[in-house]
Amino acid sequence: MWQKLSQILRRERVVWKTAAIVAAAMVLLNLTGCFQLLEWAALDSFFRWRPVESADDRIVIVGIHESDIDRLGQWPMSDRQLARLLEKIKAQQPSAIGLDIFRDLPVEPGHAQLLEIYRSTSNLVGIEKVSGQTVAPPHLLSQQGQVAMADLVVDADGKVRRGLVSLVDGEGRLRLSLGAMLALQSLEKRGIVLQEIDRRSPAQPVRLGRAVFRRFQSSDGSYIRTQATGYQILLNFRGFPCRDTGSPCPFRMVSMAEVLDDRLPPDLMRDRLVFVGTTAPSVGDVFPTPYTRNPSTRMTGVEIHAHLASQILSGALDGRSSIRTLPDPLEWLWIFGWSGCGAACGSRFLQRRRGTIVGLSIAMVGAISGSYLAFLGGWWLPGFLPFLAIGGSGVGSIAYVLFVNLQLSYRKLEEYAQTLELKVRERTRELQRSEAALQAANRELQRLVSIDSLTQIANRRRFDEYLDREWQRGVRERLRLSIMLCDVDYFKIYNDTYGHPAGDRCLQAVASAIARAVKRPADLAARYGGEEFAIVLPNTDFKGAVQVAQLIQQEVERLQIPHESSPVSPYVTLSLGIACQIPSAQNSPKALVVAADRALYRAKERGRNTYYLDEMSVL
């Protein structure tokens, strides 16, 4: 068996060597943090793609909406108004009340009435802020031990993906967050308490009913050396924010007006956790989460506390899974496996070229699908890295196969030169056939490295090479050089509306339109990245560049690609930035690209669906 395995390894050494090299490169690059934002974006997509869970009826949110603030006539609300609200909630006999409103100072009138509510409501929990700019809790609730943290953990991109369960403050006291305290109080009434599993483990696992919770580590999942102060867990959100009208709210949310006007069933809050907090955007207590696609889909702080409480409750009572991650070696093995798939497909390039491309595409889709299916099962696996590893190992294998084939061809040429004169004619014909095959392989390789696979126009690499060459020619001959950056307006919204396959078709159509508008042989149209295209116009002044920009807009407009979600047009449009300079040895092509990008930004500021010429180009 070992002999057979050894033979397989020798025969497929190109595959596993390529897979190992590419996987190692991906892992090392990932350790620098360069893929962290991309993996977070993949995780956010998984949350949005996941089927909607049923609402958690153990939690009720009393939201103070904009209409409630208008009715109050002031913010913050007075102590009398707050006391009346809490008294109405208390009358429904909830299990616990979480007051997610900072109340460190009295707001007259009615402070004495509010203090009486504090004294008589043993299941009321107020909040404080203990990190950053601290905010003190209500003094009386602090004396009674009825205070929790309102602090949230925000990632580097500004989104909330982790929940803070507890924190040891500077005085050595253990502080619980609002959601955690209410959930633990509710579970304690049911006889469910925390049980330590392994205190020596860095993850500090604890058992709570049917669930096991593990402390978030600084490099869990795709996080790279992230600050992990306190006991944090990855939040397993139940669904979209309650303000997202297109999706059901994960909790029962009622307004303050409904509570004060007695418009609720008398047992709506009985034995339930009640969170009271502001949902009005004007107050500013809103945060981006994985579900955030625009400012209107940010989640309020009181909802985030409710999600944390729901995660603890549903895990302990229902066995609902938390978001788990694999140890680093297993994640590396996951990447290596997909890298091997890409290398295996690429190694068959000479035998089945079309099959190789299809195989690589299937493998990439499989990597994303595998990560998504694992997420549905409660596991967060890398999604972008395997995708990139498949492409890298596939291209590496193809390049190696072509290189080996090239070496074999040269070896045959040497053999042909040593043959007898009697076979010169026959061997010459064979040489011609081999040379033709070699040229075809070289042309294919050149096409692969210079052409964008989706749009079939020049890629970023070809653009950089061509711009540098034309820049040097412009320096020698003192000729004007113009470039243009084009961006598909609101393309992310287009993808969200029509789906990624439609987005790919849109990019292909736009690329064809640009290619039709760029007519001179010396001009180059290229895909610059994502939905952005670039055009190099040698020996062209700004007037000529403007004419090309107008032609491009006309060609794209003629396509009539529907874009019902675009704020500027019912059809797909472009914004264009134009820059024109006479190249000099003291400058570089990068300055021209920066000028065009600046002009593109100005075009977007002017409302999009237009072009803008960089001011320096007019001089």
Considering the domain architecture, whether residues 321 and 172 belong to the same structural domain is answered as: yes
Q: Are 600 and 576 in contact (CB under 8 A)?
A: yes
Considering the domain architecture, whether residues 517 and 405 belong to the same structural domain is answered as: no
DSSP secondary structure code for residue 287 in this structure:
E
pLDDT at res. 19: 75
- pLDDT-above-70 percentage for the chain: 91
Alpha-carbon distance 279 to 276, whole Å? 10
Beta bridge partners of 128: 149
DSSP secondary structure code for residue 421 in this structure:
G
Structural domains in the chain (count): 3
User: To the nearest whole number, what is the mean pLDDT of the chain?
Assistant: 88
- pLDDT-above-90 percentage for the chain: 60
Q: Are 297 and 493 in contact (CB under 8 A)?
A: no
Considering the domain architecture, whether residues 406 and 261 belong to the same structural domain is answered as: no
Considering the domain architecture, whether residues 155 and 176 belong to the same structural domain is answered as: yes
Highest mean pLDDT (candidates 214-228, 270-284, 323-337, 340-354): 270-284
pLDDT at res. 8: 43
Indicate if the pLDDT at residue 426 is higher than 80.
no
Residues in the chain: 619
Considering the domain architecture, whether residues 357 and 397 belong to the same structural domain is answered as: yes
Last residue of a domain, one of 449, 478, 509: 449
Q: Please indicate, yes or no, if residue 185 is contained in any of the structural domains.
A: yes
Q: Please indicate, yes or no, if residue 42 is contained in any of the structural domains.
A: no
Considering the domain architecture, whether residues 241 and 251 belong to the same structural domain is answered as: yes
Q: Please indicate, yes or no, if residue 430 is contained in any of the structural domains.
A: yes
Q: Are 384 and 44 in contact (CB under 8 A)?
A: no
531 counts as catalytic: yes
CATH number of the domain encompassing residue 485: 3.30.70.270
Three-state secondary-structure class, residue 561: coil
Considering the domain architecture, whether residues 71 and 91 belong to the same structural domain is answered as: yes
Last residue of a domain, one of 449, 479, 507: 449
Taking only the tens place, the pLDDT of each residue in 100-158 is 999 989 999 999 999 999 999 999 999 999 988 889 999 999 999 999 999 999 999 99
Considering the domain architecture, whether residues 435 and 371 belong to the same structural domain is answered as: yes
Q: Please indicate, yes or no, if residue 47 is contained in any of the structural domains.
A: no
Taking only the tens place, the pLDDT of each residue in 68-84 is 999 988 999 999 999 99
Q: Please indicate, yes or no, if residue 280 is contained in any of the structural domains.
A: yes
Q: Are 162 and 235 in contact (CB under 8 A)?
A: yes
Strand extents, DSSP E, 314-467: 324-325, 379-380
Tokens of 289: 């989460």
Alpha-carbon distance 113 to 447, whole Å? 78
Helix spans in 233-279 (H): 256-260
Instruction: Identify which of 20, 22, 12, 7 has the alpha carbon closest to the alpha carbon of residue 347.
Output: 12
Mean per-residue pLDDT, 241-251: 81
Mean per-residue pLDDT, 357-376: 88
Tokens of 237: 């959100």
Last residue of a domain, one of 428, 449, 470: 449
Residue 599 confidence class, pLDDT cut points 50, 70, 90? very high
Considering the domain architecture, whether residues 277 and 414 belong to the same structural domain is answered as: no
pLDDT at res. 1: 44
Considering the domain architecture, whether residues 557 and 503 belong to the same structural domain is answered as: yes
pLDDT at res. 618: 46
Give the active site residue among 128, 303, 331, 531: 531
Please spell the DSSP secondary structure of 353-375, one letter per residue.
HHHHHHHHHHHHHHHHHHHHHHH
Domain that holds residue 410: 2-32+326-449
Alpha-carbon distance 201 to 195, whole Å? 14
Considering the domain architecture, whether residues 445 and 407 belong to the same structural domain is answered as: yes
Residue 619 confidence class, pLDDT cut points 50, 70, 90? very low
Q: Please indicate, yes or no, if residue 37 is contained in any of the structural domains.
A: no
Considering the domain architecture, whether residues 202 and 275 belong to the same structural domain is answered as: yes
Rg (CA), the chain: 31
Q: Please indicate, yes or no, if residue 38 is contained in any of the structural domains.
A: no
